[in-house]
């Protein structure tokens, strides 16, 4: 706030100053004893503390009065009624200025946010109805065409391509919708009893076909001592589906992807790890991949499709349930993403 006051702010400030200073009232200023001071400032804790402090320093006490405005003065202030007034005025002016500037920027901000969130929610329902619905039909129709058996090999390849591309698109739209919902504060988390065996099996159902298509081997294991945990079934499933489909996507044909749930002896935490022996992630990117829209290869010629939102969502979903997600990876050797479910969530 080093900007000068605008003319109308100056006028308003002047009016405020006049109210406080009451320039037309006479000023009374006289020396007082500590006892008088305690009487005059009875109930004003801050002034009484100052009074005692000044008295202790041996300063001469005085009182400054103008109308109903009473102030305590002491020592160096004594000679400076004018200065005191000036300081008061400056404080009022500064407070007014700050308050006003803040109010203006807050109003502007809230207006901007209201507009933005309207646009956002319009966009959300548009995306929901206009994109998701037809896409779902395309996927279903491609599936029916594939299963009808009437198509020859070439037609089947085309239908397969239609089905695959539309599924990728639908996945991206779903990620986008989830991120937008979470930003709108509309992400509901339910904490229920979860059997990780169920969730891993369900994730296998989604990732399995992708793995087959990519000629990647998928294995899943849930250790027998893994207990039931409390969390959000849908979100945990989305976490594993996201990590699993990434693992398949970034692993060349012939590679392996493993989903494993174990109980960590030392802490009692439950760890669900999705590991692959694919392309790996350089250490300088290992934290950045959790940022929205970050992709190690974001060039137009990149070979991997995706929105760059998956891992941001994975982390948001994990944190919403009180879990954490970390990655360990060696470039060219593979990656392991671990969801840590704290012992406190073990049922």
Query: Which parts of this chain interact with ligand ADP (CB under 6 A)?
Result: 246-247, 250, 276, 278-281, 289, 294-296, 306-312, 335
Distance CA 76, CA 60 (A): 9
CB of 180 vs ligand ADP, minimal distance in Å = 16
In this complex, which beta carbon is closest to ligand ADP, that of residue 222 or of residue 289?
289
Provide, rounded to whole angstroms, the least separation between the CB of residue 168 and ligand ADP.
Answer: 9
Nearer to ligand ADP, 200 or 248 (CB): 248
Query: CB–CB of 273/220 below 8 Å?
Result: no
Nearest to 323 by CA among 189, 183, 172: 189
Q: Is 311 helix (H, G, I), strand (E, B) or coil?
A: helix
Q: Is 226 exposed, middle or buried (0-12, 13-18, 19+ CB in 10 A)?
A: buried
Q: Which of 184, 200, 67 is nearest to 128 (CA)?
A: 184
Instruction: Give the span between the Cα atoms of 194 and 289, in whole angstroms.
Output: 28
At closest approach, how far in Å is the CB of 165 from ligand ADP? Answer: 14
Closest CB to ligand ADP among residues 233, 294? 294
CA-to-CA distance for 249 and 196, rounded, in angstroms?
23
Residue closer to ligand ADP, measured from CB, 70 or 174: 174
Name the residue nearer to ligand ADP (CB basis): 229 or 289. 289
Q: Closest separation between CB of residue 297 and ligand ADP, Å?
A: 6
Shortest-Cβ-distance residue relative to ligand ADP: 306
Question: Which tokens belong to 121?
Answer: 């929610």
Nearer to ligand ADP, 229 or 247 (CB): 247
Q: DSSP per residue over 197-244, as a string?
A: HHHHHHHHHHHHHHHHHHT-EEEEEE-TTPPPEEE-HHHHHHHHHHHH
Shortest spacing between CB 226 and ligand ADP, in angstroms: 23
CB of 124 to ligand ADP, least distance (A): 20
């Amino acid at each position: 706030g080093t900007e000068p006051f605008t003319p109308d702010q100056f006028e308003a400030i002047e009016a405020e100053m006049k109210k406080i200073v009451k320039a037309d009232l006479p000023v009374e200023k006289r020396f007082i004893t500590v006892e008088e001071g305690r009487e005059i400032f009875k109930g004003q804790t801050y002034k009484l503390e100052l009074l005692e402090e000044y008295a202790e320093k041996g300063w001469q006490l005085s009182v400054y009065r103008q109308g109903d405005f009473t102030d305590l003065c002491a020592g160096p202030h004594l000679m400076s009624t004018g200065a005191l007034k000036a300081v008061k005025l400056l404080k009022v002016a500064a407070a007014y200025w700050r308050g006003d500037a803040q109010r203006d920027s807050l109003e502007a901000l809230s207006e901007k946010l209201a507009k933005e969130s309207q646009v956002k929610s319009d966009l959300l329902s548009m995306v929901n109805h206009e994109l998701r619905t037809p896409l779902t039909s395309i996927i279903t129709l491609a599936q029916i065409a594939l299963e009808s058996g009437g198509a020859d090999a070439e037609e089947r390849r085309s239908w397969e391509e239609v089905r695959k591309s539309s599924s990728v698109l639908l996945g991206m739209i779903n990620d986008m919708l989830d991120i937008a919902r979470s930003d709108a504060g509309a992400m509901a988390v339910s904490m229920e009893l979860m059997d990780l065996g169920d969730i891993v099996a369900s994730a296998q159902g989604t990732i399995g076909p992708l793995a087959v298509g990519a000629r990647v081997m998928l294995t899943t294991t849930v250790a027998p001592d893994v207990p039931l945990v409390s969390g959000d079934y849908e979100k945990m499933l989305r976490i594993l589906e996201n990590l699993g489909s990434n693992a398949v996507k970034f692993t060349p044909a012939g590679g392996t992807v493993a989903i494993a749930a174990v109980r960590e002896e030392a802490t009692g935490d439950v760890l669900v790890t999705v590991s692959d022996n694919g392309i790996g992630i350089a250490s300088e990117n290992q934290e950045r991949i959790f940022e929205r829209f970050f992709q190690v290869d974001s060039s137009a010629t990149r070979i991997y499709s995706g929105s760059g939102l998956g891992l941001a969502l994975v982390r948001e979903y994990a944190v919403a349930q009180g879990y954490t997600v970390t990655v360990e990876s060696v470039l060219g050797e593979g990656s392991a993403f671990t969801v840590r479910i704290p012992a406190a969530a073990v049922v």
